[in-house]
Each structure stands twice: as C-alpha cells, then as structure tokens.
C-alpha cells in the first residue's frame, strides 16, 4: 500500500498476522508507527523512543520508527485532524504507540482518541496498574496493587447516542419512551437530555475473553466482572451474565466461577485455574482501597472502567506514570492515560514514564518480554535512585530533578548496563 501522508521507512519489516487474525508474526526489525501527539507529546514521544530503542537493541533487535500525524501536527502539515493515511497505516502495520491528543471541551471536533479506537476497532482498553519502587503514593501500601484493568472501549453510554435538551430528537425520544414504551411518569417535565446505554452480548463477550485470555497467559489468579447490575439489570446485569457465560462455556477446567468453586470444590481451586467472580462497581471502588491485594484482572463496561482505572492509577502514583493500551484483534495502539498538559508543552519537563510503560505493554504484546522486563527494571531503578522529573521530585526529599530527555537517557543507560 502506498501513502501520501506517511513516509514508510526503507529499513525494517512489517509485522503480519496469522490466518486466525490474532497471532502476530513479529520480525526482529519491525516498523512501528508512532504519533507524538499534542502538547507534551513532543517531549514524551522522543523520550519513550530513546528507552524503547535501547531495550530493543539490548535484546538483539531493532525498532524502525514510522512517524504518523494526528491532531495539531496533522493540521499544520495537512490541514486535517486525522488523515485517513494515519489510520490506514496503523491498520496495516498493526502495532503502534501514541502520545496524547487534545480534545476541545463542549464545542469543536470530537475526540480523535475515540475516533482512532473506533476506526481501528480497538475494543479493549487495557491498563496494568502496579507500583514502582520510589514513586510517591497517597496510600500506605501502594505495592499491594498489581492489577490489570480491561475496559470495554466501544459501547455503553460512550456510544455517542444522545440528544440535547430542547432538540427535536429529544422530544421524539421522550414521546416514544412515554407513550410507546409505557414509562409515563418517569422523566420529569421540562428540558431533558437523553442518552442511550447499549451493552451487547457481542461487545461484552469479546472483552471478557480478552481479560480471561490475559489472565491465563500471565498466570493470574482471578478475573472480576465489575458491574452495576443490581440497578441497571438489562445492561450491566447482562454484562455480568454474559461474562459468566464466556467463563462457563468457552474454557475448560482452567477457568472456574467463584460459585462453582465454593459449591462443588469447597473453595479449593484447581491448580493454575483462573477464578471468575463479580463485584458491584461501588463496592469494588471501596475494595480497591481496602482489599487491594485480593484483585488481579478486572473486566468492566466502558463507564465503570473509566472511573475505576483512574482511581486505581491514583493509588500507585498518578498520571505521570499510568500506562495503557487499546487492543483489538491482532492490532494494538499503546497510549498513556494522561492528556496533552498544554501548559508544559515543549519545556522538556514532564514525566515520560507513562508513555515508556505504555511502550513496555507494546513490547510484551510483541512477545519481547525480555525487553519489557529491562524497561521496567531500569525505570524502577532510576526512580528509586531519586533521579526523577519535577512531578515526583516535588513529593520526595533529596531527589535530583531531571528534564524529560535526561530522565530517558538515564533509564536507557541502565538498560544498557543491565542487559
Ligand atoms: P492532562 O493533560 O493529563 O494534565 C493534567 C495534569 O496532570 C497536568 O497539569 C500535570 O499536573 C499532570 N500530568 C499529566 N501528564 C503528566 C506527565 N507526563 N508528567 C507529569 N505530570 C503530568 O489533563 P487535562 O489538562 O485534563 O487534559 C489536557 C488535554 O488532554 C485535553 O484536551 C484532554 O481532552 C486531553 N486528553 C487526551 C488524552 C489522550 O490523548 N488519550 C487523555 C486525557 C486527556 P501538574 O499541573 O500538577 O503538574
């Protein structure tokens, strides 16, 4: 395929996928698309490249970067927010990484992040949440947290099916709800905004499969379905029921539900089995704090996942270090949780750890676990040594405040030493 708005590097090979649409064939010199993104993207993008290149080289591989444009950089070059070539190149090259993209509040264009996830059908948002030694946290035992959150990325109240108060659409929907569906005194009189919350069997099951597969592949003990099914019975309740169906019908002995575990085995789980249970979302938010160590992999509809993964992220040190990835079938786009923090743009100041750790998820997805481990260890050693960016330095005593690029160099140097 040829692109007008992408320079494909001459060196390097393409990652391909097997006929099952899932299993990746990863060469030792893959071409990897990168979008720096807006605001601090110009600072953290190159810093993450420095570290990821060092990890690849230390394990006998080579990353060939392919710059792609979205957001402000695309507007400057091509006068559009999200060129089709950017989307098509990620589709073709399969595994990519991006920095943050600014979304205007209220008016203006819709989120480019959401557009990318939709166009690429990246239906899972995955956020590993673990504590790195040396990172300040608001809780007493941040090391108790070692969770991986799987958030559904395409439906729920985020589907975008909503009508503004005063619009013709909203009055039509109100009439339909009241007169056709019989909910006649449910909505208060006067202006109303209405949104629809679709949760499908298809969307739920493919998300829950991703969470269970991950738990099995990574020796995790449990997958918890987090829902509000006691109130929203036919959406969140259905999420729970369909989630259990996947667990009961699609896996053998290696996956067991908590009910079966107690009813049939007196709590004695088969060795290496993954236990699937469920928790109501508000209780789960409490248990994140009070019983942190009991949870492992969480699978959630979109809104619960949004709230819960930020709350979990705060417990291990916040936005500067919280990584994520959007995953579909045989395709992934790694991205940090934080936004474009425009006030710090171009100052070589902010913490690149979140993008570096997002890159680490990408390395794991490529099957380069040795390189991924080098990244985590070197990052942890650097932060523990007090060599940190402003956000951490202001919370610890005696730290050395480093620029974004200096911090990345220190991490890369440790990778080379440790390899
Ligand atoms: P933000 O950009 O994440 O920044 C909020 C604050 O978090 C910053 O002022 C800074 O705190 C801290 N922070 C964020 N990233 C940091 C880093 N790498 N190192 C150190 N500290 C960091 O959130 P926002 O201001 O609400 O959003 C700005 C724009 O980003 C919006 O347009 C939003 O839509 C967009 N956004 C994009 C994505 C994405 O692309 N996936 C995600 C979220 C938001 P201090 O000021 O305390 O130092």
Percent helix / strand / coil, the chain, rounded to 5: 45, 15, 40
Task: Determine the distance separating the centroid of ligand 1 and the alpha carbon of 54, expressed in angstroms.
Answer: 27
Q: Is the pLDDT of residue 19 over 90?
A: no
Task: Determine the distance separating the centroid of ligand 1 and the alpha carbon of 403, expressed in angstroms.
Answer: 17
Question: For residue 185, what pLDDT is reported?
Answer: 85
| Active centre residues (catalytic) | 158, 228, 282, 306
DSSP 103-146: --SSSSSPPHHHHHHHHTT--EEEEEEEPPTT---SSS-GGG-E
Q: How far apart are CA 111 and CA 66, in angstroms?
A: 23
Question: For residue 246, what pLDDT is reported?
Answer: 98
Question: Which range (14-28, 44-58, 279-293) has the least confidence?
Answer: 14-28
295 is in an annotated binding site: no
Query: What pTM, to 2 d.p., does this model score?
Result: 0.93
- CB count in 10 Å sphere of residue 405: 16
pLDDT tens-digit profile of 305-352?
999 989 999 999 888 899 999 999 999 999 999 999 999 999 999 999
| Ligand 1 atom index nearest CA of 104 | 32
Question: Residue 292 corresponds to which tokens in the numbers above?
Answer: 């942190």
CB of residue 335 inside a 6 A radius of ligand 1:
yes
Task: Please give the C-alpha separations between residue 59 and each of 111, 362, 412, in angstroms, as whole numbers.
Answer: 37, 15, 13
CB of residue 338 inside a 6 A radius of ligand 1:
yes
Mean pLDDT of 285-299: 97
Mean pLDDT of 9-33: 93
Q: How far apart are CA 304 and CA 84, in angstroms?
A: 31
Q: Is the pLDDT of residue 111 over 90?
A: no
Pocket test for ligand 1, best of 107, 138, 319, 321 (most atoms within 8 A of CB): 319
| Ligand 1 atom index nearest CA of 351 | 19
Question: For residue 105, what pLDDT is reported?
Answer: 67
CB of residue 313 inside a 6 A radius of ligand 1:
no
Q: Is the pLDDT of residue 8 over 90?
A: yes
Mean pLDDT of 229-255: 96
Residue 125's beta-bridge partner residues? 151, 326
Helix then strand count (H, E) for the chain reads 14, 17
Residues comprising the chain, all counted: 419
Instruction: Name the nearest CA neighbour of 150 among 313, 32, 301, 356.
Output: 301
Task: Provide the 3-class DSSP secondary structure of residue 379.
Answer: helix
The rounded Cα 279 to chain-centroid distance in angstroms is: 21
Q: Is the pLDDT of residue 107 over 70?
A: no
pLDDT tens-digit profile of 36-73?
999 999 999 999 999 999 999 999 999 999 999 999 99
Of residues 272 and 285, more confidently modeled? 285
Question: For residue 317, what pLDDT is reported?
Answer: 87
127 is in an annotated binding site: yes
Question: Residue 172 corresponds to which tokens in the numbers above?
Answer: 């039509």
Question: For residue 59, what pLDDT is reported?
Answer: 98
Task: Determine the distance separating the centroid of ligand 1 and the alpha carbon of 80, expressed in angstroms.
Answer: 23
Q: Is the pLDDT of residue 106 over 70?
A: no
Task: Provide the 3-class DSSP secondary structure of residue 318.
Answer: coil
DSSP 76-109: HHHSSSS-HHHHHHHHHH-EEEE------SSSSS
Q: Is the pLDDT of residue 22 over 90?
A: no
Task: Determine the distance separating the centroid of ligand 1 and the alpha carbon of 361, expressed in angstroms.
Answer: 20
73 is in an annotated binding site: no
Band of pLDDT at residue 403, cut at 50, 70 and 90:
very high
Mean pLDDT of 225-230: 97
Question: Residue 114 corresponds to which tokens in the numbers above?
Answer: 């959401």
């Amino acid at each position: 395929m040829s692109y007008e708005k992408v320079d494909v590097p001459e060196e390097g090979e393409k990652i391909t996928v097997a006929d099952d649409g899932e299993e990746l064939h990863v060469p030792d010199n893959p071409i990897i698309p990168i979008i720096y993104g807006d605001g601090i993207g110009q600072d953290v993008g190159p810093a993450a490249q420095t570290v990821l290149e060092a990890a690849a080289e230390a394990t006998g591989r080579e990353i060939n970067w392919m710059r792609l444009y979205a957001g402000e950089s695309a507007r400057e070059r091509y006068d559009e927010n999200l060129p089709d070539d950017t989307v098509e190149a990620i589709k073709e090259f399969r595994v990519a990484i991006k920095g943050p993209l600014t979304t205007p509040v209220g008016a203006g264009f819709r989120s480019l992040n959401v557009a990318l996830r939709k166009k690429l059908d990246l239906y899972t948002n995955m956020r590993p949440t673990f504590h790195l030694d040396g990172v300040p946290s608001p809780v007493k035992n941040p090391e108790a947290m070692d969770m991986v959150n799987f958030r559904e990325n395409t439906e729920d109240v985020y589907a975008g099916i909503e009508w503004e108060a005063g619009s013709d659409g909203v009055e039509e929907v109100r009439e339909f709800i009241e007169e056709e569906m019989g909910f006649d005194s449910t909505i208060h009189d006067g202006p109303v905004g209405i949104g629809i919350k679709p949760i499908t069997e298809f969307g739920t099951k493919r998300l829950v499969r991703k969470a269970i597969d991950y738990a099995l592949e990574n020796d995790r003990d449990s997958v918890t379905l987090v829902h509000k099914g006691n109130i929203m019975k036919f959406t969140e309740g259905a999420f729970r029921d369909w989630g259990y169906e996947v667990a009961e019908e699609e896996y053998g002995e290696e996956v067991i539900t908590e009910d079966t575990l107690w009813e049939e085995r007196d709590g004695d789980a088969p060795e290496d089995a993954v236990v699937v249970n469920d928790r109501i979302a508000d209780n789960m938010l409490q248990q994140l704090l009070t019983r942190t160590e009991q949870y492992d992999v969480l699978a959630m509809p979109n809104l619960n996942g949004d709230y819960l993964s930020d709350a979990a992220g705060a417990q291990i040190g916040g936005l500067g270090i919280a990584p994520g990835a959007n995953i579909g079938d045989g395709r992934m786009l790694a991205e940090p949780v934080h936004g474009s923090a425009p006030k710090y743009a171009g100052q070589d100041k902010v913490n690149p750890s979140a993008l570096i750790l997002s890159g680490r998820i990408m390395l794991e997805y490529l099957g380069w676990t040795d390189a991924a481990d080098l990244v985590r260890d070197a990052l942890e050693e650097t932060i523990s040594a007090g060599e940190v960016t402003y956000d951490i330095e202001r919370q610890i005593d005696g730290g050395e405040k480093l620029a974004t690029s200096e911090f990345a160099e220190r991490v890369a140097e440790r990778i080379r030493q440790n390899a």
